[in-house]
Every structure is written in structure tokens, then in C-alpha cells.
Structure 1
Amino acid sequence: MPHLGVQLLVQDRHVVMDNGILQVTLSNPDGIVTGIRYSGIDNLLEVQNDESNRGYWDLVWNTAGTTGIFDVIKGRSFKVIVETEEQVEVSFTRTWDSSQEGKLVPLNIDKRFVMLRGSSGFYSYAIYEHLKEWPGFNLGETRIAFKLRKDKFHYMIAADNRQRYMPLPDDRLPPRGQPLAYPEAVQLVNPVEPDFKGEVDDKYQYSIENKDNKVHGWICMDPAVGFWQITPSDEFRSGGPVKQNLTSHVGPTTLVMFLSAHYSGEDLVPKIGAGEAWKKVFGPVFMYFNSVMDGDDPLSLWEDAKLQMLIEVQSWPYGFPASEDYQKSDQRGNVSGRLLVRDRFVSDDYTPANGAYVGLALPGDVGSWQRECKDYQFWNRADEGGYFSINNVRTGDYNLYAWVPGVIGDYRYDVSITITSGCDIEMGDLVYEPPRDGPTLWEIGIPDRSAEEFYVPDPNPKYINKLYVNHPDRFRQYGLWERYAELYPDGDLVYTVGVSDYRKDWFYAQVTRKKDDNTYQRTTWQIKFNLDKVDHNGIYKLRVALASATVSELQVRINDPKAKPLFSSGLIGKDNSIARHGIHGLYWLYGIDVPGARLVEGDNAVFLTQPRSISPFQGIMYDYIRLEGPPSSSSNSPETSF
């Protein structure tokens, strides 16, 4: 059957896009998605909700010193951009002027919706623009949210191994649900479906790293229909490939996250200054719908959605968006090369940076990409030989950054790279020399920017999410921070090098200890190690890589737990990964000089104290710890550091 052309119906209060497969209704001039008719269902969105609370772009903004203002973005004027049988593109704009100061975020916002012939879905993207003469502001979050029909969509899928029937939104409300340590986590004490009784529901349990956050959504079993959110590129998301974002959660709700401070804190809130011109295109993203015949397996809709995701990824950058601010393939450029690692105390050879994450982001300091949140980033992974190619990069100036799983630290190519339309830049061989002063005396963990390899306890049986029982992501269970005091009731963790096993004996997070009177106390962990001989005149190096920090401080002492700290990080971190089941937030790396005079032949100890202790969620997650011996005199040649 030939596909009908796309038709556009403009009414007083609504605009309807229809291609014969689905029909999308938008409010006019607000540009809120009020209806999606598909496969015999008159509306996939929650009809009991007000029209403004079904499918919408929103943001959270503030000015310095004020609390965040939540804003469902409503257009003020509607315009048809493209209207052919092949494509309809419509625009809903809201322009800013000084009369709105303090009331609306100082941005011009242009929301676009696109429907193509023969496509089982629709696209949305937006252009945000701040002019130089406008006041500054902070943009805490921006996203698209869809509220689906709770009588139809009960089965949620975020990944092959993260899918389940979900509780109802009513189950989260008192008296059916009981809030736990923070409002997002709710214990289902009397849910509508008795199967969920006692479970914990928390939207953060379904977070996903950007690099894996390409398709998620919901299935209605009868009739069998899928509602999927497909994000084909990360270029407009902040924080790089392992920044975590929300996906779908009880509602049934599906989110398209563009900017958020989740798992990072204030560092990932763009701060647009007065006098600063800024413009960014978010999207396009694709809302995809599918169905199967009666009697076919509804779960096959997920397999089809993953295939559609691959098609969208391969089609990026899209050729259809009409905005000149969205660069097409021929306007972009490519960068390729090879990354090698030389760690001279491991080997004199140059080893390929197998699986390295290599990316282009705004010029900045080493590792600054993980806090960069105003511009675009482009990432790819190197192959086994360390070869990488980063294609379809928007024009502009970038630094090339990289980090290698299994190797500490961050690489940056020191010369900025200018991408011009159609360029193919071949970087040749690049060499990363990771931080290293001497040979490894001992190490704990794997340098992979995550605490996942450490001991993650079983949850308290009172606080189970059944999805994560016997699951590789066991760290996503609620309340694991409370298990520390139960496992170490009398004293803190002691780890003995050569005897202990970090997979069993190193708790995944150094949290505060809860006391009987509901206060919290500092914790000090101890690493015991033996040295046969000590160079008392030499300098040893303790390298500590953190995978997360939340309103914490790391103090390091050697052999005397009461001495003045040899090192203090000062107050660091607001990534909240302990409470949000994240296993990592932002990465921190410290190199601490340990004078040989502080060490003794025989038994030694490192004391790691986290002294800040007002809440259960203060703490740090370690990524990797290594003690290096002093460089031997034969290795005292000057080094090149990258």
C-alpha cells in the first residue's frame, strides 16, 4: 500500500500532522504535544492529564542566588516551515525581551516538530539562543517529557537486561506508597497489584550513561503497541559519554534528557553570562511507534525498536531539518588518528590504546570535557589497535581529549583543532604518557572511572527492586549505603595488601556511619602494606582516583591516624551518586607525595578519612589506588608529560 503524503491541518487552537501511519496533535501556539493517534488507539498520551501536561519541552533556570524555576516552554507564535507531501516541519517560538526579566529565562526558543512520509514516528528539535545584551542565567536542566496513558502502558524497557512490568503512578502516592530517605524513592506498601508489595520504586534506578542511552520506552500489551524515544547522537548532551541521565520511569513517563546536573552537580549547569552570546541546537530526537499483529509477541517490539535506533544512528546527521543552525553532513568535518600509551614503568613499548574514549570538546584543561556543558561534544571509541575516527563534527575549535579504560588519568592534545566544512584531519600517532613517577608497589581496583569492581552488598530485604536481584547492576538497589554500618558495626574497613581481595573486602563507597541516635560520624579506612626496604630519602607517590564525591573531603595520613593530614582534597563533589545508585559521578585524580621518611621497613598503613558527616549520602567512591616507589636514579631522565 503506498504511503500517503504528509498532511498538515492548522486549526485555531491545534495543529495536526498526519502521514497516514500516525497523527500528532500540537496545541497552537504553545507547541505542546496533546495527542498521538496510532494503530487504533485514539491517544497514546494520558488523556486524564491537562493538555499542557502530556508531551512538552521544559527547562529549569535561575539567576545567581535564586532557586530554580521550572518552565514548561510554551510558544507564542506558530509558523509552518516546510509543507510538502514528503515532509512537514512546524515551528513554535518564544522570543524574549527585557519586560520579561526575572519572569522568563532570557532565551529565544524555537521548538520544531517534523513528520516525514512513510515514517512511523515524528522528530523534535529546538534552537536556544541568548543574545549578548541580555542578562545572564544558569540552565539547570532541559528535556522533553511524555506522559503516556497509565491504563495502557505498563511494561518498560531501558535495556535488554533492564525491562519489567512497572507499578502504577497511584502506587507511589500515600497511603499506597511511603517516601523513603528522599522523595524520588518510595516503598510500595499497598500497591494496586499485590506483586509489587514491599518493592522500592525510584526513577534514578533506571538511569543510563549517555553512550548507551539511545533507545528506551514502553509497551502496551493490548493492543500490542510500542512508544519509543530514540536519541541518535550525543553531540548536544553535556558531560561526555559516561555522564548519566534519566530515561523512562513510573508515570508512565518517557524523558529525553538534554542537560542535567544529575550525577555531577553544579559543575554541569551551563552558566550563561551577561554579555555572552550563546546558541545551541538540541536534537533532533525521534519518537518511534510500532505494533504487531494479534497473537505475535509484544516483546518483539523492543527488537524492532533497537533496529530502528540503528537506522537513526546511521542516518545522523539528518538531511531533513530546515533550520540553518543544524549543520548537515557536508557542512561538517572528520578527525582520525591513533592513540598509543607509553607507561615507562610497565613497558618501554608503545601499546595501542585499546577501547580508548576519544573525543572533541571545547578547548580547555586536561579532563575539562567532563564538566563542559555549553557546547557540543563528539566521541568515539578506538579499536584494538588504538585507531579512532570521529566523524560529522560541527565546525568550530576543539581540543582532542581521551581516556583509556585500565589506565589512569586523562589525555589532551595540546594544540586546538579547527574543524571546517568537509575537512578530513589525520592526526597520526598520538602518545599518552599517564601519570607515573615510579614502579607500582601495590594497587587496589581497576582504573575505569567506576567503583563497580568493588564489593556491592546485597540490599536490605525490606528495600528490593526485583529487577536488580542477581543482576550485573546490583549497585542500583536502594539503601546500600546503610549496609556499611551493618557490615562494620565496631570499626571501619581495614584492607591488607596481598591478603584482601578488593572484590570482596573493599566496600563500594566510603560513606558516613549511622549511629543509634540517628546522627552520622566520619569514617577512616585503613590500607595495611609491608615494605621490605625503604628509601628514606626518596619520594613515594600515592595516586588516588575517585569515581564519585558528594560534599566530602578526602584526608590521607601515613602510619599515624592522629597526625596532621599529609593531604586533604578540601570539600569536593556534589554528584549525589550514592543516593542515586550511580556507581560513579565525576572523576577526580590526586597524586600525593609521600616522603620516604614517613615509611618504615615492615608494616605500614595508609589512613583514608572522610570527615564530613551530616548526612548518609556524604561520601566518596574510589576508582583506583596505587602506591609507586621512588624513581630509581637510572630513570631520572627528564620526562615529557602529556
Structure 2
Amino acid sequence: MEKRAGRQYRCSAWRRRNLPILFLFFFFFFLVFSGAASAAGNGKTHARRINPGRNSSRSNSGFGVQLVRRGDPQRVTIDNGIVAVTFSSPDGDVIGIKYKGIDNVLETLNDDDNRGYWDVVWSKPGDQRGPFDKLRATDFRVVMQDDEQIEVSFTKKWEPSDATVPLNIDKRYILRRGSSGIYMYAVLERLEGWPDVDMDQIRVVFKLQQKLFHFMAISDDRQRVMPLAKDRITGRPLAYPEAVLLTHPSNPEFRGEVDDKYQYSCEDKDNKVHGWISEEPAVGFWMITPSDEFRVGGPIKQDLTSHVGPIVLNMFTSTHYTGKDLNTAYRNGEPWKKVLGPVFVYLNSGDTSTLWRDAKEQMHTEVKSWPYEFVNSEDYPAAHQRGSVVGQLILRDRYINERLMYAGSAYVGLAIPGDVGSWQRDAKGYQFWTQADRKGRFFIDNIRVGTYNLYAWVPGIMGDYKYSVNITIQPGSKMDLGMLVYDPPRNGPTLWEIGIPDRTAAEFHVPEAYPTLMNKLYTNHPTDSFRQYGLWSRYTDTYPRQDLVYDVGVSNFFEDWFFAHVVRSAGNNTFRATTWRINFDLPTVDKSKGDYTFQLALASAV
């Protein structure tokens, strides 16, 4: 698991208020910022930069979309002349994707139900961990079909006698004429009165051909040739199962490196496209997520992307980097229904140096097309059935400026009604976020019908904002909230401050990784070096005899404040809590004006 952390401290005078803690808890005593400490085969392991270009995937546009059955009643294929996707029927797993002369880009060494599938990690209340439920359906039908498009559905109605997760399931797949990929979404529902359950993870998984896909890309500066799955098997497990030291890799250039799927996580707001490239033939396989409305925990929640396998994920719900504070518990017969997706599984071909750039361009096309007009579900509203909200967020803090200030670059969003900051714990409803301009002006569109609270936070400013009035969205509504004023929590003038309250630890000291425990992807990386394995042990190396002491006015938090508040190694795999000390001069204390307040801005990840 990834560990990263940061704190921002402020001490102010006058009346005492409750300390505003911005969110979350910690694991292994790691306090970690949710905003980033800003995420095989033969060939070089350095990060390859992929140049601009266009692919050659969009061909055969004159080929109509077809539903094909080839004598096997347990298989059904949809084909548009560019891609042909085969499903198990009626289960609804993706067992084959044919593209550009490759009979199946998915791993044919795996069983049919272990190639492309949905799954849920669920448990009954009190159980530590339940099984993976792969959401196998019991019925198949064609929702619509013509020469332009086909949409198919795999459904299951839950029965009390079932040993599966108590959900009604409708898995949908859409193939369109001329499209180099397949759209997929699911409608999941639990009815009122159904059994209590925890659903900690809901995701989509694709496992690609190991002999073909060796190069992974998650962002412009996080891409490289990757180890093989068997390299992890022959490696040495480290402090947790996901982290493995590669001791006998197929490619000797990986020897001595660490592989850990959590090292490839990223914030949801940046998690729009990721995937893998095959060099021969030159083909890309990409997961494109055009909207975050169905994700959980807000825009800066981190989650998994792609990792060694080769595996491509889309995480719709997970307790990664939040723990059980993310509300994934359904109690007292609580009903729930949610549309997850659609997302787009995109395939492209051409020169390998063009495939990443082309995938990004396709991602922008999908984002601009949201919400899709071609989805055939009454649970998925089109653009004209949604609403919008516009307004301006203003800051009022007379200790910074006597005048009102623009809340520039504020994150503003709608989520289900709750307490201030509750959007960070929400895993059940839809969320709609944007970032304000430099004058604090924001516009949120394509909002589903419903009742919401408006939440916001401003990088560099303490606390969370919540608009006091519920916002009800109707079809076609356009709501202008005007000017909203945020009064950050403050009890007096600032005496001193350590760090920047922006939900990142980017400004603090991130130590170098151990040379024997490195992932070379992050060597000298400008923003993601905190993802290196084992950095928590560097605290003991940095402060071998006593814990961190910070002298206000003398120390520099860029160099003198460790990015994670961690435990100290006491040897023999034992650890001790640490106590950090902040020294500052306060010549006089005016008790008549009240107590002094110590404020912390925290964010953390498990």
C-alpha cells in the first residue's frame, strides 16, 4: 500500500474552536495527503515518451453492427467490423475481444470468467472480509439493435436463497458503427428491506495477453515497459503482499526493483485514461472514464489504474486510501440504486509512438460527448434531463485582507446532503465537481435530478465550505446561486504556519528511496517520488536518535518537515510512536483575549 502524508499547522489567538480536521485516518501510523505529494518482457525499462499522432483504427465504418451466435448457446458476439466482442451467456463476462488480426487481446490462458468481468467485494456485517462476487447474470437480452448500434443486457434478480451479494444486476454493453471499442455500464440495485451488507469494492477488470502487452501508460510522465506477472511470483514479498522485490525477473534490467500496484494509483480527477501497448502487433488497449459522477469520495480520492498482469481496472467504489470511513455499509433495509458508467474500452493501432497520444485524444472526445445520447436505459438521463448550477465563491478573512477575496481555483461540488466535508465519506450517491476560475466563478453542468448539498474547499485555505441550503435539481433547471461567502475557521491572527493547507504534501521533505528498493519509474520524478516503497523507514534514518524538532523562524519545512508522520523502527520488526516538537517564541501572552488555537489540516491514505 502506498503511504504518504503531510500536515499543515497554524496557531492563532482568541476564542477556542474545535480543531478542523479535513479528513480521514491512518494505517501503520502513516498520515497521508489525498492530493498526492503534488501515480515486461524484453526491452528497456526506462519511461518511454510517446509522440503525437493518429491511429488507423477507424476503418470499416460501412460495416453494420451485428449480433452473432456461432452454434454455442453459451456464447454471444457483437461485431462492427472493427472489434468483435464475445460474452459468456447468460453470465455476461467478456471472454474475447478480436481486433486488428488478434483473435483475442484478452488472456486466453485464463478461464472464461477470468478475462473481463465485473466484481464486488462484499461481506455481511461483522465479517472481516467477504468473497469476490463476479456478478454473474442469469438472463440475456438484446435491448436494441440496428445497423448503427447494438446494446445487450445481462441481468440477474436476487433471491433470498442466493449466497451472492444482495443486488439486482443489469450489466450493459454497447457497440456502435465505426467505433474502435465497446461501452459498458451496470445498473446495480438493492430493494428496501434487503439484508444488511458492506460493499467495499466494485470494479471492472480486464486481463490482457501476457505475451503481447508489455508497455503500460497512466500519464505523460508515468509510463514504461513493465515486469511480467511471473516475475512477481519468483520475487520476494515485502511488507505487504502487493509489494514484491523482483529477484529473478525475465528481463534482468528489473532485478532489484520493487513492483507494487499501489505505486500506479492516481487521483480520480486525473484518472481519465490508462492502459497497455503491444509492440508487435502495434495495438493499444485503454480504459477511458469520461465522467467522475459515479465515483466515490470526491475528486482527489486516489485509486488503482493499471498494473502488472497485464491488468486494466476501473474502480467504481473502493476503500483504498480511505479505509472504512468511506461509507460502504447498507443497514436497516436501506434501498440503493446506482448507474456505474458508461466507460469506454478503447482499442487503437498504428505506430506505437502514437498510441498514447491518440488514446488521450479519444478520451477528450468522450468527455465532450458526456452524457451520451445513445444509452438505452431509463436510469441514465440524457443531457436535457439534467440541470446545472452556476455561482461564485468568495473568501472573507480579515486577517489576510480587509476586503473580500476571490476563492481562486476552489474545488466546488455537489454531493448527497450531509455534514461539512461529508462528501469525502460518500460512496452511495452521485457527485459533480469542477474547479473554479481565478475569480472563484464555477459552473457545474449535466447534474442528475436530485437533492444535493454544495461543498467546496480552497487550496491554501483552511477548512471546508458547505452551502447552507439544499439544492434541488430538476430536468433542464439552471440554478444561479450568485455570490457565496466562505469564512474559513479562524480565531485570530496567525502567529506561525508550517506548510500549505492544500491537501497535498508536495512542499515537505520526501526522502530518497533505498537503492535496493526502488521503482525506477519514480527516480527523480518531480511529483510522484513519494510513491517509492519503504520511505517510512527513512524517518528513522533521518532522525536516528531523537524525533523531529522544528524551530519556527529557523527551520524550513521544505527540508526540515518529514512528509509523513510515521512510527520509528525499534528493531526486530517492532516500532514506537513518534513525538514531533515545534518550538516557537511568544514574547507575551494576553490571556484576556482567550485561548490560543492550534489548527491542523490533515489528509491521509490507507
Q: Which residue of 2 aligns with 1:357?
A: 411
Look up the match of 1:312: 366
Give the equivalent residue in structure 2 for 1:558: none
- Return the alpha-carbon distance in structure 1 between the equivalents of residues 125 and 161 of structure 2: 19
1:588-625 C-alpha deviation (Å, 9 max, x unpaired): xxxxxxxxxxxxxxxxxxxxxxxxxxxxxxxxxxxxxx
1:134 counterpart residue number: 194
CA separation in 2, counterparts of 1:155 and 1:246? 17
Partners of 1:185 and 1:248 lie apart in 2 by 15
Cα distance in 1 for residues equivalent to 2:312 and 2:151: 23
Residue 188 of structure 1, CA deviation: 0.1
Tell me which protein shows more strand as a share of its residues: 1
RMSD after superposition: 0.9
Tell me, which stretches of 5 or more residues in structure 1 are unaligned?
Answer: 549-574, 577-642
Aligned mates of 1:366, 1:113 — CA distance in 2: 38
CA deviations on 1:133-171 (whole Å, 9 max, x unpaired) are 211211110000000001000000000000000000000
One-letter code aligned to 2:565: Q
**TM-score scaled to structure 1, two decimals?**
0.84
Superposed counterparts of 1:107-146, under 5 Å: 107-146=167-206
- How many Å separate the matches in 2 of 1:168 and 1:2? 36
Amino acid at match of 1:366: V
**Pairing 1:275-290 to 2, within 5 Å after superposition:** 275-290=333-348
Task: Give 2:66's aligned residue.
Answer: 7
Q: Mind listing any 5+ residue stretches in structure 2 that lack a counterpart? A: 1-59
Give 1:346's aligned residue.
400
The residue aligned with 2:246 is 188
Q: Deviations over 1:151-202 (max 9, x none)?
A: 00000000000000000000000xx200000000000001010010000000
Q: Which residue of 2 aligns with 1:426?
A: 480
Partner of 2:148: 86
Q: Which residue of 1 aligns with 2:595?
A: 539
C-alpha distance in structure 2 between counterparts of 1:213 and 1:404, whole Å: 21
Q: Distance in 2 between matches of 1:522 and 1:476?
A: 22
Q: Which amino acid aligns with 1:539?
A: D
Deviations 1:385-434 (A, max 9, x none): 11100000000000000000011100000000000000000000001110
- Check conservation: 1:68, 1:140, Cα contact below 8 A: no
TM-score (norm: length of structure 2): 0.88
Q: Which residue of 2 aligns with 1:637?
A: none
Matched, 1:482 2:533: no
The corresponding residue for 2:105 is 44
The answer for the alignment partner of 2:293 in structure 1 is: 235
> What are the equivalent positions in structure 2 for 1:369-384 lying under 5 Å apart?
369-384=423-438
> Within 1, Cα distance between the matches of 2:380 and 2:173?
14
| Alignment CA distance shift 1:158-1:521 (3 Å) | same
Letter in 1 for 2:63: L
Answer whether contact 2:509 2:558 (CA < 8 A) is retained. Answer: yes
Matches within 5 A, 1:420-499: 420-472=474-526, 473-499=528-554
Moved beyond 3 Å, runs of 4+:
none
Question: For residues 78-125 of structure 1, what are the alpha-carbon distances to aligned partners after superposition, in whole Å with 9 as ceiling and x for unaligned?
Answer: 01101111110000011101111xx11111010001001110000100
Check whether the contact 1:141–1:269 (CA below 8 A) recurs between aligned residues. no
Helix, strand or coil for the counterpart of 1:217?
Answer: strand
Match of 2:264 among 174, 194, 206: 206
The residue number in structure 2 matching 1:178 is 236
2:135 maps to which of 48, 55, 73: 73
Describe the SS at the equivalent of 1:531.
Answer: coil
Give 1:522's aligned amino acid.
A
Identical-pair percentage: 58
Structure 1 counterpart of 2:34: none
Q: Is the 8 A contact 2:61 2:177 kept in 1?
A: no
Which of residues 515, 524, 527 is equivalent to 2:570? 515
Are 2:73 and 1:17 aligned?
A: no
Secondary structure class of the residue paired with 1:530: coil
Match of 1:99 in 2: 161
Partner-residue secondary structure (3-state), 2:591: coil
Distance 2:574 2:89 in 1: 53
Q: Distance in 1 between matches of 2:152 and 2:61?
A: 24
The match for 2:23 is none
> Which structure carries more relative contact order (alpha carbon 8 Å, separation 6+)?
2
Partner of 2:219: 159
Once the two structures are TM-superposed, the CA of residue 516 in structure 1 deviates from its matched residue by 2.4
Cα pair 1:260 1:269 within 8 Å, conserved: no
Measure how far apart 1:3 and its partner are: 2.3
SS in 2 for 1:139: strand
Q: Tell me whether 1:251 sits opposite 2:309 in the alignment.
A: yes
Rounded Cα–Cα distance in structure 1 between residues aligned with 2:386 and 2:334: 25
**C-alpha separation in 2, matches of 1:452 and 1:14:** 50
Q: Distance in 1 between matches of 2:113 and 2:253?
A: 33
